[in-house]
Amino acid sequence: MSDSTSPHGFSVVICVYTEERWEDILAAVDSVRKQSLPPLETLLVVDHNERLLERLTEEYADERLREEVRVLANAGPRGLSSGRNTGIAASRGEFVAFLDDDAVAERDWLHHFAAAYDGPEVMAVGGRTLPAWASGRRPAWFPEEFDWVVGCTYRGLPPGRVRVRNVLGGNASFRRTAFDAAGGFATGIGRDGDRRPLGCEETELCIRLAKSLPGAILLIDDRAVIHHKVPAVRERFGYFRTRVYAEGLSKALVAQSVGAQKGLESERRYTTRVLPSGVLRGVGDALRGRSGGAGRAGAIVTGVTVAAGGYALGTLRARRGGPAFSWGPIERTEDSTAKDSTAKDGAAKGSAAKDGTAKGSAAMSSAPEDSAAQAPAVKVSATKDSTPEGATP
């Protein structure tokens, strides 16, 4: 049950696109409804799939559920970024959280997000995403350093609550005002159903947010946990290779848009410290006769090489006038605006509770991190050379 007077009012956006994930979608929504800190609402944004839109509208047609779960059509072009922007435009909460449609959140997920917003300068908080392998266990050759390939938290991120360059979109939250300052997710890249798994829309947005609000703080709290399903096809080396190549292409566009210094600052530490340690660990395991050690070392080397190739090609394309990405302000829909004053009144009444939560929250580490019914109108203006990111190191 939602609590419209919560001082930490969360709108949770889940973008969906295929009936093949029907049971996963229901499980994701159910995990949000069972949160220890109830959200104001859950927004299911359907990406240009009329049959799925009808089924979900019927599923949550019960009067008791309609205020908890709202079903919307993606108001923009096909793709994850437009779906997220549609959800943001319709949101009523002070905070907007994003959950993948094939993931389930642990019960205190939103509670840990809320506790991290202990100052007005905190503009985004991400969490820890754990893989749920279809086979029941991690493939022996699959290095933890590359878990971002399957949309999960990768080895190399520091533990606890830490400051980061960008959050990962499948398990993230933002102040609603962050989008007022920086605009929405850039369109033109990012996920589009089952097409080539490009990403980086979160990275581009977070870098743009930091430029718009120089004092902004972005965090990851590893206690805000979700479990992300990894289907069998993504356990294969062919998918691994395709995904890292696409990441290289995407990173080139980010660097072209925001500059290599900002666009690649996380990747420098990752490639010079985290990955070499992973190779040495894999070789050491192989020498000790442990299963998968050589495969993990080889996968890391292959991943770096293929990503570098994608980056080189992406850079060349960008210099020759490759794809440009548009982003702009997101205007609230009439429905969300009408509810906004109610939410604000509730937040004001709960301000004392908010102060208590802030004082009681864990201290933030200062270590920097080098690191996813009727359609509302989403207004996207001036085209800029922007770029995106999904599950990225």
In tens, the pLDDT along 148-172 reads 999 999 999 889 999 999 999 899 9
Highest average pLDDT, of 39-53, 65-79, 193-207, 314-328, comes from: 39-53
pLDDT, tens digit, 9 for 90 and up, residues 97-131: 999 999 999 999 999 999 999 999 999 999 999 99
Core vs surface per residue 328-354: b (16+ CB within 10 A) or e: bbbebbebbeebbeebeebbeebeeeb
Label residue 198 by pLDDT band (50, 70, 90). Answer: low
Torsion 368-130-358-390 (CA) sign: positive
Check whether 338 has a pLDDT greater than 60. no
| 221: β partners | 161
Distances (CA, A) of 269 to 14, 265, 266, 279, 366: 32, 7, 6, 15, 17
Flag whether the pTM goes above 0.85: no
Check whether 357 has a pLDDT greater than 60. no
Counting every residue written for the chain, the total comes to: 393
Check whether 344 has a pLDDT greater than 70. no
Label residue 188 by pLDDT band (50, 70, 90). Answer: low
- Report how far residue 214's alpha carbon sits from residue 198's, in angstroms, rounded to the nearest whole number: 28
Pair of tokens at residue 139: 């493939």
How many other C-beta atoms can be found within 10 angstroms of the C-beta atom of residue 298? 17
Give 199 or 223, the one with higher predicted confidence.
223
- Report how far residue 90's alpha carbon sits from residue 85's, in angstroms, rounded to the nearest whole number: 9
Check whether 317 has a pLDDT greater than 90. no
Label residue 82 by pLDDT band (50, 70, 90). Answer: very high
- Report how far residue 67's alpha carbon sits from residue 49's, in angstroms, rounded to the nearest whole number: 22
Largest CA distance in the chain: 65
How many other C-beta atoms can be found within 10 angstroms of the C-beta atom of residue 110? 26
Beta-carbon contacts of residue 316 (< 8 Å; ≥ 6 apart): none
